[in-house]
Structures are given as C-alpha cells and as structure tokens.
Structure 1
Amino acid sequence: MSYITDAYFLQGATTADDTGTPWTAYTATEHTVSPWGPDFQHGAPPSALVTHAMEGIAPDGGRLVRVTTELLGAVPVAQLHVTARVVRPGRRVSYLEAVVVDGSGREVVRGSAWWVRSDDTTDVENPGVPAAAAMVPLSQAGGPDADTSFLATWSGAFIDSLDFRPVPPTVGGQLWVRSRMAVVAGVEDTPWSRLMSVADVANGTDRVLDPREWQFMNTDLTVSLHRLPVGGWTGIQAEANFGPDGTGLTIGRLFDEKGPVGSTTQSLLLQRLG
C-alpha cells in the first residue's frame, strides 16, 4: 500500500447504517505504520483521528479538556469507519464519544472526551512554572550533545513522519517532537488534533527498556489540557513505571514553547521479546 500524501488519513464518504447512525470512511496511509509491526498503526494516528471526529461534533463556545483513546485491538493500515456522538449534552459540560471500526465491523478504537464551556480565567492562570523550568527549552534541544538513542531504537513509517529534537542524555525522559503530516488530508489541524498526532510518543521517551528486547505497548492514552498548545512543536517529559507482573504506566507532562499545557498517561502491556 502506497500513497503520495502528507496526511495520516484520507477522508471518504459518510453513509448511514440501518439505525441512521452516520459513519465516515477514512483510509489510513502508509505514514501510520507502527514500529511494532508493518500491518497495523502506531497509536498516535488513530488517537488523533478520534479527536478530529469528536471536535467535529463538539458544541460551540468551549473546548475539549480531556481526550481518552482506548486501543481495543490492532488498528489495521486500511480503510476504517468512524462515528461520533454527544453522549451527555450540556450548556457548561458535555461528554462526547467516538468509535472506529475496521472493514469487518470489528471495533478497534474507542475515544471519549469532556467538553467544557470557555470563560475568562486569565486572572488566576497558573502556568506551572516549576515544571516549565525542568523541561529543556526547544532552543536548547537538538544540539551536538543531544541523546539520539530514541531514533536509533525506533523505526517505522510513523516515526519517519516526525521531526525530533532530542535533549542531552544527562536530562533523560525528555523530547521535542512535531509531525510533518496533517491528520486528515485537506483538513487543517486543530491544536488538539495536532497534539494527539504525537502525544502517544510519550511511551518510549523515557528510555528505560530497549524495544529490541521488550514490548511495552500501551492499551490507552489519556491527555488532559489546561491550555491549548501553540505552534507545531510538542515537548514531552515522560516517566516510565514498570510493575512486577507484566504491566506498566507511562506518565508524561506536555509542553509548547511557552510552557506546560497538560499531562498524559498510558497503561502498558509489558512483555519480554524472544
């Protein structure tokens, strides 16, 4: 499968099923391919896709504050169908949901989000200064002493679609990243969809285990934002936690060039390879 496009998905037609539910077709391009295997997607593109779908039905006058993606199975590099709905409407708070199925009708991704009405709270804004001071600024990343081990141990078409600015190895668990691809061809990314196209990279940013020896695949991704990010670069400050029984948890803080914007968590399946 090969496409000449600068996007993770090509949008197709919208059709209704027997219940009247609208489903939109999206074809995954080769840029979505995961490092874990050539036939299924990295977790980031489908996470961005469900975010795109939920923002499309969100009420006016507010924004999403939390998005959770549940990866219910291997997401194929193929045509998918997506639907989204408002589960709990409200003037101040709404709960949204999106579902992704593959060609056989198997549900492969489920997304949920909280939408909150906007208000002016600039007088009490808390930029998270201590955390901001701990993140290496973008202007100081990517130098000759940067830690490039992340790039040496990961491969795949999705990883190749990203630009990285690693930080010095003495810092650890930090990375600046941006995608060169749109989420959906011909559709301008929003701050949320642009962030979700890279947020899944947090799992692997804290390079504790070698992916050539261990699989630590995340089953979900939850991102909460106290401020919408500005610009194309996302700073990730991640911490890998591994338990004694084959499970783990990646906890991350997300940044733009102005400072912290939110946080991320990912539950992990931990398995030794070979």
Structure 2
Amino acid sequence: MSPGSYYEPIDDHRYKPTLHAGGAWNADEQHFSPLGGLVVHAIERHRAAGPDDGLVLSRISYDILGRLALDECEIEVAAVRPGRTIELLEAVVRIAGRPVVRARAWLLAGLDTTAVAGGPDDRLTPPESLSAWPMSEVWSGGYIASLDVRPVTAPRPGRTTAWISTPLDLVAGVPASPLASYLALVDTANGIAVRQPPTAWMFPNVDLTVHLHRQPRGTWTGLDTTVTFGPSGQGLTSTVLHDVDGPVGHAQQILTVRPLPGA
C-alpha cells in the first residue's frame, strides 16, 4: 500500500477511516490500534481549545464496546473530573450513532522531577540495526500491511519484543502529536506474539490500558510483549512500552479466547 493516512477528517469531531485502518480479524472492520491513537488526537484537540495548564496524559484506558465497522466515526470528549493539577477526561467513539469505544484519560501535572527519577532503564536494540518482519504473513488487513515491524529477536509463541513504525499519517492533512502517533501503534502488541494461529483461534482484546511514566518520543513504538492464555477462555497481553531512550510505561489487554468455528 502507498503512503497515506489512517483517517480523513470530515469536521472537528468526525473522521472517515481509510483502507489502511482495516482490521486483522475482518476486512470490513477497523483495527483498534489506529483508532486508539485517533482518540488521543481528539483529546488533545479538545484540550487545545482551553488554556495550557501543563498537564500530561499519564494513563488512558479504552473499553471496546462493540464492532468497529470500517465507517465514519464521531468522537466526543468531556471532562469527568476537571482540575488544575489532576484531570480526568472521557472520550466516546460512536459509529452509526452507537457507542463503540469509551476511553478515560488521567492527566497529571507536568513537573521537573529529574532529581528523583529512577526505574528500569534497559534499552532495546535500536530498530535501525534490525531486519523487517513481514507480519502480514500471519495477519491480514490494511493496518497490518501498513506497518514496519522489526523484531529484536525471532518472534515466538507468547513472547516477542519488536519495534513498530508506520510511514502513514494518523489523520490526513492534520499534524498528530508524537504521543497520539505512538499510541496509535500500541494495540499491535496482541498480534506480535500469538500463541495460536489466528486462522484456528480468536483472541481479540476487549480493552487496552496504558500507563506512562514519561512521554514517548520518536517515530518508533517498542513492544516487549508477553501473551498468556488461561484455561477458561481468558487471556492477557502484557507489554513493557519503549521508545528509543528506554521504557516509557506499560500496556495491558484482556483477551477473549475461543476456537474459530470449523477450524
């Protein structure tokens, strides 16, 4: 696919997905990953209409309420808990008038805490030194086809560390922040370390929660991912998130695991 964008703007609140946003499970659905980035883009546009208070997005939790048709979507953002140093926003995505995603984002005061900063700082092998992996050999869909995927080591069932990037814009003709562009790739984590072939088993996530201890930078999203399947139909995808400078946070996705009919 040629470079382009995942969405085209219709107005300030409505967006049309392109074929590049096509889902991995069904061609007529959106992959959630770029939609997750679009939600952050909408939140940032909502906040830009007010004064600059220095708050930074530190956690966002998405609940996927239903089928994400590859169709026009509308995003409404509102404050749940306004504040000068801590704020909670909610974004609701609607397709054909029906809520399909509900996201809540905590924004915290941005302060200089360099003197006490600390934690794991292991850096991944830089993506420029790694070979590309054709993820489309495992998954179908326009979104997967749009990606540049570079594993740090050979992918194996339930465990993969990889860099993800894309040449596409999030929204055509509208600059997206590094954060929105970064988060638009995080949901890919559930597809890089598959435990079972997606042609035989379904394991879609019904949520995604991201916690950040610093703001990511650069054009690469690093995913250090572990996938666990339980014995009673549930699974968990857990990811340490990286940028080129090291870890930036964590992501969790709960999965519904089930065999494909007739597989």
Q: TM-score by structure 1 length?
A: 0.87
The amino acid across from 2:105 in the alignment is: A
Deviates more, 1:171-180 or 1:32-41: 171-180
2:121 matches 1:107: no
Give CA-to-partner distance per residue, 1:143-181, whole Å, 9 cap, x none.
7xxxx4744211210011111112332884111101222
The equivalences for 1:56-135 within 5 A come to 56-58=45-47, 60=52, 61-103=54-96, 105-129=97-121, 132=122, 135=124
Contact 1:127 1:259 in 2 (8 A): no
- What's the offset of the Cα at 1:205? 1.9
The aligned counterpart of 2:170 is 183
Q: How far apart in 1 are the matches of 2:55 and 2:142? A: 35
Q: How far apart in 2 are the matches of 1:4 and 1:209? A: 31
Structure 2, unmatched stretches of 5+, are: none
- What's the offset of the Cα at 1:84? 0.4
The equivalences for 1:221-232 within 5 A come to 221-232=208-219
2:198 matches 1:205: no
Larger RCO: 1 or 2 (CA < 8 Å, sep 6+): 2
Q: How far apart in 2 are the matches of 1:260 and 1:112? A: 23
3-state DSSP class of the match of 1:209? coil
- What's the offset of the Cα at 1:232? 0.3
The amino acid across from 1:89 in the alignment is: P
Deviates more, 1:162-171 or 1:113-122: 162-171
Contact 1:5 1:185 in 2 (8 A): no
Number of aligned positions between the proteins: 255
The aligned counterpart of 1:166 is 151
Deviates more, 1:172-181 or 1:29-38: 172-181
Q: Name the one with the larger strand percent.
A: 1
Identity %: 37
Structure 1, unmatched stretches of 5+, are: 15-23
- What's the offset of the Cα at 1:28? 1.0
3-state DSSP class of the match of 1:38? coil
